[in-house]
Amino acid sequence: MSENLTHIDEAGRAKMVDVGAKGETEREGVAEAIIRMQPATLERIKAGQIKKGDVLAVAQVAGVMGAKKTPDLIPMCHPIAITGVDFDFKIDDANSTITIQAAVRTIGRTGVEMEALTAVATAALTIYDMCKAIDKGMIVDGIALVKKSGGRSGLWERK
């Protein structure tokens, strides 16, 4: 792990990294989040019985919007042209969870890890919002980068 924090200047103040000299490469960030809920809540999501609508469809749209709005939320993130966002929702009946995975892609000078993390967080919070009337005890957990590729550092995958 690098000991140099790229978003801190010599005086210890926050700064946005200058990526102007970097070459453009294909980049991808994959992140996941887990939302835990009561079994009855999960059953209602699967059955389409949540009054606010199709929970996973709305969460997917919200996640895409979250990825696109990342530089508005995270101060040192560069606004970048996202070329694609894909979502996968894995329902685990035994543990009463939904694992949300987002893959965000770009061709650019900086990565999309923060966009992928923001996408899954936004999707998970949307699930919470849509179901909170029946289950205020839901827990959003395990937000993590799973994989990143492209750029100078190349491929990184969580073990």
pLDDT tens readout for residues 130-154: 999 999 999 999 999 999 999 888 9
Domain spanning 25-150: which CATH class is it, in words? alpha beta
pLDDT-derived band at 104 (thresholds 50, 70, 90) equals: very high
Which residue from 25, 51, 45, 137 is spatially nearest to 100, judged by alpha carbons? 45
What are the domain boundaries of the chain? 25-150
- Residue 66 CB neighbour total at 10 angstroms: 25
Q: What is the pLDDT of residues 4-53, one digit of tens each?
A: 777 777 888 887 787 877 878 999 999 999 999 999 999 999 999 999 99
How many Cβ atoms sit within 10 Å of the Cβ of residue 24?
A: 13
What are the catalytic residues?
129
Would the pLDDT of 159 be above 60?
A: yes
Residue 26 φ/ψ, nearest 5 degrees:
-70, 135
Q: Over the range 102-116, which residues count as b (16 or more CB within 10 Å of their CB) and which as e? A: bbbbbebbbbbbbbb
